[in-house]
């Protein structure tokens, strides 16, 4: 008998697996950043590559979903960050800067990506904005010949004509467009209906319509048609095309609370105007992105909430007289937001030089024959020319998605997939699996320590990382929510040595796994759960 309580022979015979009532399963779930990316980027994936300073691989992975990392690293509103689980510990990962870092690397290092030769299939795309160009990029990558038509002289659509240069530098856009358009035929100054028509499209195997939403909604008030009352979109387009728009000393009203209103107000201020933004609800109901509102509030721009214009008229001095009425918030309307209700006898007057309206946009489909959008947002194909109908695809801001750049990019890429399937005589099927999202409850916070972020170099939100080290140390903060990064915790903690390392992950030896669940408990990121079935 030994001196201590020890088994005299091997305990291999004791197949503790027979005790098991639940089984560990290594199964990745969806990181919230990936789930919330309208462009469908594998954000966790490229952050993981940046941890190891693999910028080239990160660029390749990112551009599998979004051809515009430099653009989106500047103008995207990054819902990924808002959903980042790290915010439960210290602060969310700065995905914006990481994306921008990758995009800027691409501008410096990637000129012309190698493309396969084009086969016989040909696609026409109408609209050279983010949706059209994304579709073009991914179709061309598959060896499909692409011709892009646009009514403007330059490609980019909203990126060029809608977004002010202080948010997206023109040279950045130019460089990125240059890379995206490589191998793609671009036909400028081609407006459908006037410069070309259906007969020109009949030689194509499919057509993608992505002309966006450029029709400003009207206010339906008197005086709206006075020339000094202009749509914000129009103003932005002029300002962005030729940089004109001298408003020095002019008093300007911008009506609206969305992103266009913010861009219009901030651009007008940059052209020298004294700007007042009026919005009929309060800040909480503004449809603009939080970032945009924050930036707007930092500018010397006056904001009048709960205020709406009632009528406009030209006064003797050449100025505009505007009557406003104050509003209060009433019951919610169909959008779910509180409906603004006019307050009786609250009218007041202002005298201004210009009014820009930015209260929403609609797609302008007048050029496309009888095309229209059905109630509920679907594109109505019923009256489309029979010769086109079967091979017409629609996407981008025409559809009532949230009208953002990443949504347009995602919509364009989805269209490319549908078209590619269509060309093979198939219909794109989408997975019906319910995605499980990794939330804070899936994270074992004991494995992560707070980082004093105030000690790190501070850069203005608008700028990028100074160098690779900064970017990779930010990337290193990522939890890799829901996705196994082979940390070996399950292997190390298993009291029965039943979690065995394999070449690409782990295998659970069910002969000995007694289902204690320690592995799942010690998984830092929720990619291992005790819910395996046998």
Partner 1 sequence: MKRVISGNEAASLAVKLSRVQVISAYPITPQTTIAEKLSELCGSGELDAKFVKVESEHSAMATLIGASSTGVRTFTATSAQGLALMHELLFWASGARLPIVLVDVNRAMAAPWTIWCDQTDSLAQRDTGFLQFYCWSNQEILDSVICAFKIAEKLLLPCMVCYDGFYISHTHEAVEIPEQSDVDKFLPPRDAEYRLDTKDPRTFSGGTLPANFMEIRYKLQKAFEKAPDVINTTYGEFDKLFGRSYSAVEPYYTDDAEAVLLASGSAASTAFHAIRKMRQSGIKAGLLRLRQFRPFPEKELLSYLKPNIKYGVLDRDLSPGTGGVIAQEIRAILNRNNVRIDINEFIAGLGGRDITVDNVTEILLKVRDDKGDKLQINWVGLKN
**Closest approach of Cβ 404 to partner 1, in Å?**
48
Measured from the CB atom, is 17 or 164 closer to partner 1? Answer: 17
**Cα distances (Å, whole numbers) of residue 428 to 124, 254, 415, 424, 493:** 19, 43, 10, 10, 43
Task: Locate all alpha helices (DSSP H) within 308-440, ordered by sequence.
Answer: 386-389, 405-423
450 lies in the site for partner 1, by CB under 8 A: no
Cβ of residue 493: shortest distance to partner 1, in angstroms?
14
Residue whose CB is less far from partner 1, 12 or 345: 12
As given in the structure block, the two tokens for residue 465 are 């990382």
| Of 6 and 331, CB closest to partner 1 | 6
Could you tell me the smallest distance in angstroms from the CB atom of residue 1 to partner 1?
Answer: 8
Q: Is 478 helix (H, G, I), strand (E, B) or coil?
A: coil
Contact residues for 310 (Cβ-Cβ < 8 A; gap 6+): 221, 323, 324, 325, 347
- Taking CB under 8 A as the binding criterion, the range among 2-10, 50-58, 255-263, 387-395 that sits at the site for partner 1 is 2-10
Question: Nearer to partner 1 by C-beta: 2 or 460?
Answer: 2
Closest among 304, 315, 318 to 346, alpha carbons compared: 304
Minimum CB distance to partner 1, residue 444 (Å): 19
**297 vs 507, beta carbon nearer partner 1:** 507
Give the binding range for partner 1 (CB under 8 A) out of 3-11, 129-137, 146-154, 260-268. Answer: 3-11
Contact between 6 and partner 1 by CB under 8 A: the answer reads yes
**502 CB-side CA count, 13 A:** 9
If you compute the radius of gyration of the chain from its CA atoms, what whole number of angstroms results?
A: 28
| Contact assessment for residue 154 and residue 174, using Cβ atoms and an 8 Å cutoff | no
The piece of 1-9, 96-104, 109-117, 502-510 that touches partner 1 (CB under 8 A) is: 1-9
Q: Which one of residues 12, 171, 435, 534 is an interface residue with partner 1 (CB under 8 A)?
A: 12
| Total chain residues near partner 1 (CB under 8 A) | 12
Nearer to partner 1, 236 or 498 (CB): 498
| 280 contacts 306 by C-beta, under 8 angstroms | yes
**Separation in Å, CA 459 to CA 2, 74, 78, 227:** 67, 14, 18, 43
Options 10-18, 39-47, 97-105, 210-218: segment touching partner 1 (CB under 8 A): 10-18
Residue 10 lies near partner 1 (rule: CB under 8 A): yes
Under the binding rule (CB under 8 A), the answer on residue 449 touching partner 1 is no
Residues linked to residue 277 through DSSP beta bridges, in sequence order: 254, 303
Strands 320-332 and 302-304: unpaired
- Helix, strand, or coil here: 216? strand
Binding segment for partner 1 (CB under 8 A), chosen from 9-17, 204-212, 358-366, 413-421, is 9-17
Nearest distance from C-beta of residue 451 to partner 1, angstroms = 20
Between 93 and 508, CB nearer to partner 1: 508
Question: Which CB, 10 or 21, lies closer to partner 1?
Answer: 10
Return the number of the residue (10 or 375) whose C-beta is nearest partner 1: 10
Interacting positions 494-513 with partner 1 (CB under 8 A):
497
Among 5, 427, 434, 450, binds partner 1 (CB under 8 A): 5
Could you say which DSSP state residue 477 is in? T
Alpha helices in 87-231 (DSSP H): 95-109, 130-141, 158-161, 170-180, 198-201
Task: Check residue 344 for interaction with partner 1 (CB under 8 A).
Answer: no
Report how far apart, in Å, the C-alpha atoms of 57 and of each of 42, 44, 47, 74, 394 are: 12, 13, 10, 21, 32
What tokens does 106 get? 């691409």
Q: Which of 456, 459, 468, 479 is nearest to 50 (CA)?
A: 468
Question: Which one of 7-15, 18-26, 367-375, 517-525 is the stretch in contact with partner 1 (CB under 8 A)?
Answer: 7-15
The helix (H) or strand (E) run that includes residue 186 is: strand 185-187
* Contacts with partner 1, residue ranges (CB under 8 A): 1-7, 9-12, 497
């Amino acid at each position: 008998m030994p001196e201590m309580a020890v088994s005299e022979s091997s305990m291999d015979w004791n197949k503790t697996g027979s005790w098991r009532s639940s089984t560990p399963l290594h199964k990745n779930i969806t990181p919230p950043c990936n789930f919330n990316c309208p462009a469908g980027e594998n954000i966790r994936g490229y952050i993981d590559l940046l941890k190891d300073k693999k910028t080239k691989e990160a660029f390749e992975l990112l551009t599998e979903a979004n051809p515009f990392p430099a653009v989106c690293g500047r103008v995207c509103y990054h819902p990924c960050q808002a959903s980042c689980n790290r915010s439960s510990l210290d602060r969310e990962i700065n995905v914006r800067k990481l994306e921008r870092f990758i995009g800027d690397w691409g501008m410096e290092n990637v000129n012309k990506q190698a493309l396969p030769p084009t086969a016989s299939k040909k696609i026409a795309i109408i609209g050279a904005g983010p949706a059209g160009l994304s579709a073009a990029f991914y179709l061309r990558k598959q060896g499909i010949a692409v011709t892009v038509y646009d009514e403007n002289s330059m490609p980019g659509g909203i990126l060029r004509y809608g977004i002010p240069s202080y948010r997206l530098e023109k040279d950045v856009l130019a460089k990125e467009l240059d890379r995206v358009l490589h191998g793609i035929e671009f036909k400028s100054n081609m407006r459908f209906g006037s410069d070309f028509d259906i007969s020109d499209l009949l030689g194509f195997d499919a057509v993608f319509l992505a002309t966006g939403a450029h029709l400003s909604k009207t206010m339906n008030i008197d005086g709206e048609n006075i020339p000094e009352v202009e749509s914000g979109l129009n103003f932005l387009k002029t300002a962005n095309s030729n940089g004109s728009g001298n408003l020095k000393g002019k008093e300007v009203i911008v009506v609206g609370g969305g992103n266009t209103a913010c861009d219009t107000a901030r651009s007008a201020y940059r052209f020298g105007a004294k700007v007042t933004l009026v919005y009929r609800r309060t800040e909480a109901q503004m449809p603009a992105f939080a970032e945009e509102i924050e930036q707007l509030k930092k500018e010397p721009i006056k904001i009048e909430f709960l205020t709406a214009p009632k009528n406009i008229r030209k006064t003797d001095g050449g100025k505009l007289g505007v009557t406003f009425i104050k509003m209060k918030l009433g019951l919610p309307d169909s959008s779910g937001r509180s409906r603004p209700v006019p307050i009786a006898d609250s009218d007041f007057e202002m005298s201004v030089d210009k009014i820009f309206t930015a209260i929403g946009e609609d797609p302008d489909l007048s050029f496309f024959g009888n095309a229209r959008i059905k109630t509920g947002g679907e594109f109505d194909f019923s009256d489309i020319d029979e010769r086109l109908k079967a091979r017409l695809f629609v996407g981008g801001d025409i559809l009532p998605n949230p009208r953002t750049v990443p949504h347009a990019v995602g919509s364009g890429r989805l269209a490319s997939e549908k078209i590619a399937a269509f060309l093979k005589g198939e219909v794109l099927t989408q997975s019906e699996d319910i995605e499980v999202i990794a939330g804070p409850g899936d994270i074992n916070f004991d494995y992560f320590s707070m980082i004093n972020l105030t000690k790190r170099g501070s850069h203005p939100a608008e700028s990028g990382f100074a160098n690779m080290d900064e970017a990779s140390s930010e990337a290193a903060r990522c939890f890799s929510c829901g996705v196994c990064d082979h940390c070996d915790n399950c292997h190390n903690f298993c009291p029965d040595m039943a979690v065995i390392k394999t070449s690409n992950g782990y295998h659970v030896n069910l002969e000995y796994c007694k289902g204690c669940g320690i592995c799942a408990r010690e998984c830092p990121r929720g990619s291992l759960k005790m819910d395996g079935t046998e």
